Structures are given as C-alpha cells and as structure tokens.
Amino acid sequence: MVARSRQPARAGFPGACRAHARRQRGSLAVMAAIGLVVAVAALGVLDVANLYLAKRALQNVADFAALAAAQQMDDRCAQPLVTATANAASNGFVVNGTTRTLAVACGRWDSNGNGGMTFVSNGTPPLNGVQVSVTNTVPYFFLGPARQITANATAKASVIGSFQVGTSLAQVNLLNGMLGALLGGTQVQLDAASWTGLANANVKVADLAAVATSAGTYDGLLAAQTSVGGLANILLAAVGRDGALTANAAAAQNALRAVAALVPRGTLNSIQLVSLSGSPALLQLGVANAEYAADASVNVLQMLIAGAEIAAAGNAPVTFSLDTTGLSGVLPVSVALTLQVISPPSIAVGEPGYIEGTSTWRTQAQTAQILLGANAVISTTNTTTSYLGIGYVLDVSVQLPLYVVAAQGQAWLQSAQCAASKTASTQTIGVQTGLANICIGTPLAGGVQAKDVSGFSCAGTNARWNVASVSLLGTAIATVSAPSVGVPVVNPSSAVLMFDGDGNPITGNSVNSNAIGAVLDNSLQSTVTTLGQLTESSNGLQLTLLQGALNSLLGPIIGGVVGGLVDGLAMPVVKGILGTTLGPVLQGLDDIILGPLLQLLGVQLGVATVTDYPLTCGVATLVQ
C-alpha cells in the first residue's frame, strides 16, 4: 500500500477562510470596543459641557442678583433678598427651594486691618455689601446621577457723604484779613466776585486725584503734601473738570491764581491733602479705599480756608485789622484782632456708621481749636458833641480786651440712605460743639497750646487790667483799672441733624445754645452793674493819677487841683461807657466780626453749623 503524502492547504480552501474570518471578528470587536469608549467619552463631554454651561449661566445669575441687591441695601437685609430673587427670576432662574435655591447675606465689604479687603456678614451697620449664593441641580444625561452646582457673588454699593462744620461765605474784609493773617501777615485783596466764585465752586475727589500728582493716582493723592500756594494750584487744575459743579469757573480760577501768587510770610506747615487712617489731613476719608469716594464733591472755599489753617496751626498769634463800619454809635470804636490756630479743622468725606467692631465713627469732621483776641477801644476822642458833659475837657478811652479760647467740636455721618431721588434720600449727621472760654482783661500773652485748651480757665479776679485811660490835652493823666472777668463757660451741646440727598437741611443744620454777643452781653450786664456801683474799693474800679504827667503838663499847683477833679469827671464816663455803650458794642462785635469770623474758622461758640453736600450713591460693583 502506497502512503499518500499531505500537502498544506492553499489559500482559497475552506480552512483558510475560517481562520481569516476569526481574525476579522477579533478586529471588529476591538473596533467596537474603541467605538464604545469614544461614544461614552463623547457623551461624557456633552455632560461636562452641559455642566460647564450651566455653571457659567448660574454664575451670571449670581452676579446680576448681587448687583441688583446691593443697590437696595437696608440694614435688616429684607429688600436685598426680595430684589435678588426677582432679578434671578427675570434671568430665567426661578427658585423652588429644592433643586434651585438662592440665599442672601448682607454685610460690609471693608478693610480687614491687614491692607486687604474682606466681607463681614452682618457687619456693623450701615451695611454696604451683599453676598449671593445660588445652587442648581443639573442632570447628567448619560453618565450618572444629577449634580448640584453652586455659584457665589459679592457686590458692594457705598453711600458717601461729605460735610464740614463751620466755614461759609462772609464779608470780604473778614476773608481777606483772615487769610492774610493765616499766611503770616500777607496782604490779600480779593474782591467779592472772587470770593463768591470760590464759595460756589466744588470739585470731586476723583478730580483731585487726577491733578494732585504727576501720576494722577489715588495712591499719589494719599501721599501728597503741599503748601497753601500749591493747594491753590491743585484746586485751580481741578475746578472746571466737571462743569456742573461750579457756577462760575472763571471767577473761581482767577481767585485761585491770585492766591497761588501770594508770598506767605513766616514759617508755615505743609498740608497733608488726604488721609484714610484718621491722621490729620485736609480731607479725612472715612472709606476703606480712596476710590470709593471718587464721586464725592467738596467745596473749594472750605478747602482753601481749612488748608490755610493747617499751614498756620501752632504758630504764634498774628495781629490783623478789619473794617469796623457798623460798630460806631455815639462814640468811635476801633478793634484790633489777634488770631492763633491751635489745631485746624478738617473736611469729612466717607461712609456712615461705626468702624467695624469699634465705637469710632467712620467719617468725622472737626472744628478748629483757636485763640481769638479782640481788643475793642471806645473813645470820646474826636467826638463832635460832648459825652456826659465833658466834651473838649477830658478824653477817655475804654478798652475791652476780649479773648476767646475754643476747644474742638465734632460732627459725624451717623447714617445715610439712598432712595429713588435725591430729595427722598436722607443723611443723618451728629454734632457735638466744643467747650469755650471767654476772658476779659488780662491778656493771654503767650497763647495756649492744644493740650491746654480743654482745661483752660481765665485769670482770677486778683488779676487787674487797665480798663480806661484819661488824657488832658493829648497827655495821659490817669488810668482806671478793673478786676479781670471770666465769662461763664459755653458748655458743649449736641444734636442730630437731618439732610436730604442734595445736602439741604430737613430739620435744621445748626446746634444753637448761645451766640457770642448774647453770652457776653448777658454775662457782662451784672458785671458792668457791679463795676459801676463800686468806686475805688479793692475789688472794683480804681483810678490812678499819673501825677508826674499832671505836674509836667499843668505845674505842681494846678496839677494837684485838676487831679482832684479827674475822679469826679472821668469815673462817670467810664461807668457810663461800661453800663450803656458796652452792650451794643459787644452785640455789634458778634454780628459783624466775631461770629462770622469764628464761623469761617470752623468754630462757633455754642453753635455748630454743618455745611453738607450732595449724597453720593455709589454704583454697585462686583468685588468677589
């Protein structure tokens, strides 16, 4: 039997086809598996993309809701929640409490004390920020259960007020004389139109930041120090940047150019323009960030006068003279003034309420601490008619050295609320007037220092002063002395003032107790009566003859005879002036000189007049 040999199967035979088919089926399985992975990945991408888009849309809902809520702030956080919920619904996000939720936290966006900013939930009112948190349940269509996503947004809307205690437009002679005195005796001659232009000119804090330094930044504004002339140039560059703030830009600019060209005498302090920390400065910003006060406006006249006071603070008293027209009655009156600024006033710009976690007001303005002397001289010299029958015989001059020492008062922005209109918006400002002492008689030769003001008291009755001098034929022949007088202290008073959003008073804008003249007149009436009743006792009026002058003028014999008559002639004149003429003169001093001048300096005894400016309701901005 012959054996058959096997030959390998050739292609195209059934065995080869089956092997090839098996290989194809393996490749298809791999391809199917890869395709499935790709499909699952693609579906996952769709789910992730859907989640991303949902997250982005939810963030937009939170942002818009926070911005809307911040514009409807109230310290009870009632309106912000309503506003945020309604805003979210208008953007297609309807809260159902389960799959879609919205929560609102009200608080303060403020400095954290370390140079940064933070949101404090339920912070110290008034609140200025809203934190909105929204959640939404987003289904995964292909890869698992639904997922919950969250979006948060924080927005703030600052309410900024600006005000100063005191300083308003007064007589041109007061403004020129006072500014000249503050500049060390420099002659100032601005006309009424120029001063009115300054009084009606306002600039924004943003304008000051733009021109105060070459960089034009808020950091530059905070670091800027200047002189009175430099301040005038800064204000000159800022005036007119916003035409709606200044009634007559040309008049204000002309006045500022004239002030910038003045050459101050003596040594003056540099002026710190702005501070955030509460340190002394012309503008004290009660905000966490200077940019928050960008749209707040301040008055140019206020800034110029307060800046001059800062420059003069701590210097020796300066003498200046003023026109006393209006004081003259039966007898001629002249007044010599001395002024010393112990501590200057400040202008406040900022947010209302307390600093977080403290009992210190965020935004405060101070009145000045000053020493003001007014020596009024009432004389029978050059009278056209006799006074008490002694015309052309004896000349009697009665002087009244009056010294006002005032401690600082304060005003603070207690609360502010923006509404749909300026007239419906409100500002509440608290005021505490400063302690004041009024002394008559013994001069305060060296002035006083800031530390001495609060405890200052007048000289005792043992200190005497020359109340009058008596002359015959132009030669002094006698003096009349009197005990020093301390007018009762003007005690501080306080009140809460209300303004609308335009800065117009709602319930009044001053805390009144007594005007200067009224204090002096009322207090001196009993003193004058007492002085008039006394003759030459050790506690009253004392006439001292200058016997040497009498003898040299008339000879020893005639001088002795005339000397005996001086007492009977001169003392009735002195008493008459003290009793009948002094009261009206004091009232005139108050109405014409002392009251307006002290108000310009930011001080009123028993009175604190607050000058308020429009409330700035900040546009809501996202901060987180």
Tell me the per-residue pLDDT of 223-246, one tens digit each, with 9 for 90 and over. 999 999 999 999 999 998 887 888
Residue 352 counted as domain residue = yes
Judgement on whether residues 329 and 344 belong to the same structural domain of the protein: yes
Judgement on whether residues 368 and 516 belong to the same structural domain of the protein: yes
What share of the chain has pLDDT > 90, as a percent?
16
What pLDDT, in 10s, does the model give residues 240-295?
888 788 888 999 999 999 999 998 888 899 999 999 877 889 999 888 888 888 88
Highest mean pLDDT among 257-271, 332-346, 511-525: 257-271
Residue 441 counted as domain residue = yes
Residue 466 counted as domain residue = yes
Judgement on whether residues 481 and 420 belong to the same structural domain of the protein: yes
Judgement on whether residues 538 and 616 belong to the same structural domain of the protein: yes
* pLDDT at site 39: 57
Beta bridge partners of 410: 366, 432
* pLDDT at site 496: 83
What single DSSP character describes residue 537? Answer: S
CA distances for 333 relative to 170, 287, 326, 425, angstroms: 21, 50, 9, 49
* pLDDT at site 75: 78
Whether the pLDDT of residue 63 is over 90: the answer is: yes
Q: Are strands 347-350 and 159-165 parallel, antiparallel or unpaired?
A: antiparallel
Residue 237 to residue 213: CA distance in whole angstroms:
11
What pLDDT, in 10s, does the model give residues 14-27?
665 555 555 555 56
Judgement on whether residues 135 and 167 belong to the same structural domain of the protein: no
Mean pLDDT computed over 541-545: 79
- Residue 345, sorted as left (phi over 0), alpha (psi -120 to 50) or beta, turns out to be beta
Residue 360 counted as domain residue = yes
Residue 49's domain comprises: 29-157
Residue 226 counted as domain residue = no
* pLDDT at site 93: 92
| Lowest-pLDDT range of 10-19, 133-142, 498-507, 520-529 | 10-19
- Please say whether the dihedral angle defined by the alpha carbons of residues 447, 450, 451 and 454, taken in this order, is positive or negative: positive
Mean pLDDT computed over 587-615: 68
Judgement on whether residues 473 and 539 belong to the same structural domain of the protein: yes
Residue 305 counted as domain residue = no
Residue 340 counted as domain residue = yes
Judgement on whether residues 93 and 169 belong to the same structural domain of the protein: no
What share of the chain has pLDDT > 70, as a percent?
72
Tokens of 481: 């002395």
Number of domain units in the chain: 2
Widest distance between CA atoms in the chain: 196
**Under 8 Å between Cβ of 477 and 558:** no
Mean pLDDT of the chain: 77
Judgement on whether residues 416 and 544 belong to the same structural domain of the protein: yes
Residue 221 to residue 281: CA distance in whole angstroms:
12
Judgement on whether residues 336 and 446 belong to the same structural domain of the protein: yes
Residue 280 counted as domain residue = no
Judgement on whether residues 151 and 173 belong to the same structural domain of the protein: no
Judgement on whether residues 317 and 454 belong to the same structural domain of the protein: yes
b/e map of 63-85 (b: 16 or more CB within 10 Å)? bbbbbbbbbbbeeebeebbebbb
> Which residues are CB-neighbours of 323 under 8 A, at least 6 positions away?
173
* pLDDT at site 520: 61
* pLDDT at site 105: 92
Judgement on whether residues 380 and 471 belong to the same structural domain of the protein: yes
Whether the pLDDT of residue 208 is over 90: the answer is: yes
Whether the pLDDT of residue 513 is over 50: the answer is: no
